[in-house]
Structure 1
């Protein structure tokens, strides 16, 4: 049987399996699939023949959205919105920029980037009626997680390898506050939607990306010398159409 046929069959089986799993079991399956996709995309599977690697990547990427279903079917790339967000005013962006600078000394290193949590302005804006209304209108019922984090990539070599997020960040609003370019190639956000070419994104200050972070593999490439990035991330949990 050809790899493409095997991939389709395995995607179907994994999708059917997920309907009988508990939320915790499904989260574990999603984690394993994410690790598999990340390993292939990061080049850790070079000894495996190329056709088999493509098949493995296709299986993981196509299965992840099917584990959660719902509104994801309307957004095959995983992207719900990209650009200047209508729900963030200039005053909001200015307040987030100021608070993110103030919270940098309290940020803690998490793997290969720095994170600051518990910022009141970021939390309040993530729960604002304008934000929640926009999300509900576009993707259906959601549950705010009250998780609003500032992310910092301001040392050479910081980034995030290919992965998917946990359920509490199933829907993510990522807003760029500053990207100071270095002397080398700029760090970028890359999404790997199933069956499609990778999407390379360079958010400008004030621009936002809303995407299904729990079902589309994504990464941030490594920063170079003199490069600095500050972002704010709002996390939400989608409720409609999941295999609960």
Structure 2
């Protein structure tokens, strides 16, 4: 048995990823994400529970390993959660207004709607305040010029468990609206070897997290529920 083959599977996947091209690593990430997501929503129930649990843990623990140590010490994947200092009240209000005005442009992407590249959102994504805030916490980052308004405003919209593409490796997600007051849909993060993290953001609050490394989902909306968010993508250097 070779030294590499005697390593735990998670470590072997990490070593493999270091030998892959960017495109190949994205494909590996997609396969691991699909495996984790499928197990989380109940696929493979015909398999013994212990085997399903081990497979899920392997997929989840392998995802951060794909980045060759270029992530800070990984716990939940959350960098920040709360009312962020990099947005003023006026900026939140302006993005709120722009997201409403651009709803008619939104295109369906799987089970939610997206408007990309609105002028103010794109400008805010390049904000020096956000860049400084992120750099202080995770080291230098590059904006990926991805700025999306997200809409979940019909019954049954949401996103199944997944990880994000490279453009949203580090995701700054800000809540612009979630009504009514009694909410059903929520964001759930599934960090490896930990309990799920259930997140409800208030208006103007942000979540900054490593969206390419931790499996997450938006649970489905119900009748009368409406959610609008703005999402900015960054890449750690």
The answer, yes or no, to whether TM exceeds 0.5 is: yes
Q: Please report the RMSD computed on the Cα atoms of aligned residues, expressed in angstroms.
A: 1.5
TM-score (norm 1): 0.92
Deviation at 1:47, TM superposition (A): 1.1
Question: Cα deviation per residue 1:159-210 (whole Å; 9 max; x = unaligned)?
Answer: 0000000111100000000000277x61000000001000000011110000
Contact 1:178 1:229 in 2 (8 A): yes
Match of 1:113 in 2: 112
Match of 1:222 in 2: 220
TM-score (norm 2): 0.95
Match of 1:123 in 2: 122
**Is 1:209 aligned to residue 207 of structure 2?**
yes
Match of 1:46 in 2: 45
Contact 1:182 1:226 in 2 (8 A): no
Deviation at 1:145, TM superposition (A): 0.9
The number of equivalent residue pairs is 232
Match of 1:32 in 2: 31
Contact 1:182 1:225 in 2 (8 A): no
Deviation at 1:42, TM superposition (A): 0.9
Gaps of 5+ in 1: 1-7, 240-244
State the distance in 1 between where 2:74 and 2:45 align: 31
Question: Cα deviation per residue 1:20-51 (whole Å; 9 max; x = unaligned)?
Answer: 11111111111100000000001122111110
Alpha-carbon distance change, 69 to 208 in structure 1, aligned in 2, over 3 angstroms: farther
